[in-house]
Copies of this chain bind each other. A is one copy, B any other.
Amino acid sequence: MKLSNTLLFRGLQDKKIDSILSCLNAEKHSYKKGEIILTEGSITENIGIVLSGKAMISCSDIWGNNSILSDIPSGSVFGEVYACIPGQPMLVTVSAVENTSILFMNVCRVLTTCTNACPFHIKLVRNLLTVCAHKSFQLSQRIQHTSSKSIRGRLMSYFSECAKQFGSNSFLIPYNRQQLADYLNVDRSTMCNELSKMQKDGVIEYNKNKFLLKT
């Protein structure tokens, strides 16, 4: 993953990025599939950016129900919310969906006023704002997808968005069945059942992670 291609570093040249990285004490870490990257309840002032692999943000209640808030593909950022609200313990857990390498950065310097107003820092703050807005937007979407009472309604809401984003009625989803169920906050087996029905009803077709939304 090239950093200059990410939302966070968009518009910054490689040289500048390097100097920013050292300024922010960037550190690389690796995680195996399933490992926890940031734990619920912990406090962090670092943001992370996924260099390779994939992570996800989730939370679970006292009964062990697991909810996925969003996936974090390569190039995406996490922890920015908590970095921007110093001292706020995390409500969520970030974990590696596959073997993943992460670049952590301490963004305090960029956020506190004491910084010398160098144009790259300012650019970075603006980018961070964009990233934060996108995250917020994603969460709104997730809330929308889980607002329907019925499983079919939730699936359709999610699939509609996928189709829109892919620009095609045929698309891949980044989740397996259990993860999709956790994202939509429903029971996996019941959801599988509903998917079959939808296929029978001619609403969708699917094969593994590839779905076709029939109009």
Contact = CB atoms under 8 A, between A and B. Distances in A.
- What 7 A-B pairs come out closest when comparing CB atoms? A84-B133, A139-B139, A67-B147, A132-B132, A136-B136, A81-B136, A81-B133
A99 to B, nearest CB: 26
A51 B129 CA distance: 24
Interface string A117-153: 1010011011011101111110111111011110001
B123 A113 contact: yes
Given A117-B122, A126-B113, A146-B185, A153 B61 contact: yes
A85 B132 CA distance: 10
User: Range of interface residues on chain A?
Assistant: 35 or more
A69 interface: yes
A125 B81 CA distance: 15
A199 interface: no
A24 B90 CA distance: 34
A212 interface: no
Given A67-B147, A125-B126, A132-B136, 9 more contacts: A61-B157, A65-B148, A65-B149, A67-B143, A84-B133, A85-B133, A85-B137, A91-B140, A146-B185
Contacts of A92: 140
A111 interface: yes
